[in-house]
Amino acid sequence: MLISSVEELIFEVIAIFILIVFFDYTFGWLERKTIAKAQLRHGPTYLGKFGVLQNLADILKLLTKENVMPKNADKLVFSTVPLLLLALFIFLVYLLPFPNSLGIDISIGLLAIFVLLSFSPLLIFLTGAASGNKFSLISAQRSVIMSLAYEVPLILSVAAVALYTGSFNIANIVYSQARIPFIVLMPIGFFVFFIAMLAELERPPFDLREADSELIAGWLVDVGAPYYAMALFVDYTRMFLGSLLISLLFLGGWLGPYLPGLIWLLIKVFVVAFVIVIIRATTVRMRLDRLMRFGWFWLLPLAVLNIIFTFIFFVK
């Protein structure tokens, strides 16, 4: 996992990029089909066998349309900040270790990821506020408040994992789950991390920003068509990041019998993504002040309790 020459660097960059694109495309198809099956319909069936080429057709259609910008928008910010957001999330995937000598191995990997992840509310607020539209401003404010409340339990539950392992290196965390994965050792921590991750990814029940039936898709109301395609890409890359973090930190990463490591990792990532999609099909949206109350009064004490338990029982 150490970079020794320029060819290896280029090979790793391209390999992980292909992995991201593969996951985004497959997850897009999986989400549409699963939600359709849960709603007793078919989903895309026309293009390709089982509708596999449908997302490709949608993205090609969106990229060929004209880019319209509203008059009140701040042109510089509005056209560059979404690209920065995409670059941020792709960069964060590169900081994670992958098996079979792909990926970068850093000794402070965990800290680096969560420090950079907290840039995302700032960029999201900038895209919403630069639209010059009342609805986008309201949804940008809501998403910043929500991220503020849910980042603290997120980091606290990860701190319990780091406390148990004794290092910030994600590869070490995965190897120390060789006997028991952390979901069994600290179930409260897993619960807190899962729900706080749903709030960071802005998936239902926490999808205030794109509240389809209240503000008609919030900040995406008047972006141009190419930016809409990029917003989808950002959404799915964020899902990939979230599911990877859950499976690396709590489910045992790439360890498992019989199959090569990369296949196990992908299986775990897809199982987590499937559970997130089923939750989307089942719940209604939460109201903002209830959400705040849930974050501060329920998740935060549970996360602190988790750290205390871990310290007492497992750290000598």
Partner 1 sequence: MLTKINVGPIHPSTHGVLRLVVTLDGDTIVDVEPHIGFLHRGVEKLAENRMYMQSESYMEKIDYVAPMAYSDLYVAAVEEAMGIHPNERAKYVRLILLEFQRIASHLLWLGTFCNDLGLMFTMFTWTLKDRDLILNLLQDVTGSRMFYVNMRLGGVSIDLPPNFEEHANKLLDYLEKRFKEYEIFLEKNPVFIERTKGVGVLKKEDAIALGVTGPVLRASGVNFDVRRDYAYYVYEKLHFIPQIQTKGDSFARYKVRMQEMKESIKLIRSALKLMPEGDALGMPIKLISPPVKEKEVIVRRELPRGEGMIFMVTDKQRPYRLSLRTPAFINLSALKYIAKGASYADLFSILGSLDLVMADVDK
Partner 2 sequence: MLKPIIETIKALGKERFTTTFPEEKERQPDNYRGLHRLDVETCISCGACERICPNRTITMVDANTSKGRRKLPQIDIERCLFCGLCEEVCPTRALTLTKNYEYTEFDRRHFIRRPEELR
37 binds partner 2 (CB under 8 A): yes
User: Which does residue 80 bind out of partner 1, partner 2, none, counting CB within 5 to 8 angstroms by kind?
Assistant: none
- Which structure tokens are listed for 83? 């690209």
Which residue of 279, 302, 304, 305 would you call a contact of partner 2, by CB under 8 A? 279
Question: Tell me, what DSSP letter sits at residue 95?
Answer: T
Helix axes of 134-165 and 109-117: crossing angle, nearest 10 degrees:
170
Q: How far apart are the first and last CA of the chain?
A: 31
Query: Which residues within the stretch 41-70 sit at the binding site for partner 2 (CB under 8 A)?
Result: 41-42, 45
Q: Which does 279 bind (CB under 5 to 8 A by kind): partner 1, partner 2, none?
A: partner 2
Instruction: Please state, in angstroms and rounded to a whole number, the distance separating the CA atoms of residues 93 and 70.
Output: 33
Task: State the binding partner of 45 from partner 2, partner 1, none, CB within 5 to 8 A by kind.
Answer: partner 2
> Exactly one of 7, 290, 312, 315 binds partner 1 (CB under 8 A); which one?
290
| Euclidean distance between CA atoms 64 and 77, whole angstroms | 22
Q: Which residues in the 187-206 window bind partner 1 by CB under 8 A?
A: 204-205
- 214 touching partner 1, by CB under 8 A: yes
What are the tokens at 284? 């209604």
Segment interacting with partner 1, rule: CB under 8 A, options 87-95, 211-219, 227-235, 298-306 = 211-219
The DSSP call for residue 229 is H
Which residue stretch of 9-17, 160-168, 239-247, 281-289 sits at the interface with partner 1 (rule: CB under 8 A)?
Answer: 281-289
- The pattern of x and - marking residues 219 through 258 that bind partner 2 according to CB under 8 A reads ----------------------------------------
List, as own/partner pairs, every contact residues 120-125 make where C-beta atoms lie below 8 angstroms and the sequence separation is at least 24, other chains included. 120/85, 120/88, 120/89, 120/147, 120/200, 121/147, 121/148, 123/81, 123/84, 123/85, 123/88, 124/85, 124/209, 124/219
The C-alpha angle 265, 13, 54, rounded to 5 degrees, equals: 65
Query: How distant is the alpha carbon of residue 42 from its chain centre?
Result: 27
Q: Which of residues 30-49 bind partner 1 (CB under 8 A)?
A: 35, 38-41
What does the radius of gyration of the chain's CA atoms come to, in whole angstroms? Answer: 20
Between CA 252 and CA 269 the distance in angstroms is 11
Q: x/- contact string, 8-27, with partner 2 (CB under 8 A)?
A: --------------------
Q: Tell me, what DSSP letter sits at residue 49?
A: G
Tokens 């993504």, residue?
Answer: 273
Considering only 87, 214, 283, 297, the residue that binds partner 2 (CB under 8 A) is: 283
> What residue type is 138 in one-letter code?
I
Size of the site for partner 1 (CB under 8 A): 25
Tokens at 219, concatenated: 């900040």
Q: Shortest Cβ distance from residue 40 to partner 1 (Å)?
A: 6
Which run of H or of E encompasses 195?
A: helix 187-201
Minimum Å gap between C-beta 45 and partner 2 is 7
Q: Using the rule CB under 8 A, which residue among 134, 166, 263, 314 binds partner 1?
A: 134
- Based on CB atoms, which residue is closest to partner 1, 151 or 207? 207
Stretch that binds partner 2, among 19-27, 135-143, 229-237, 273-281 (CB under 8 A): 273-281
Residues that bind partner 1 (CB under 8 A): 35, 38-41, 134, 204-205, 207, 211-214, 216, 280-290
Residues that bind partner 2 (CB under 8 A): 34, 37-42, 45, 278-279, 281-283
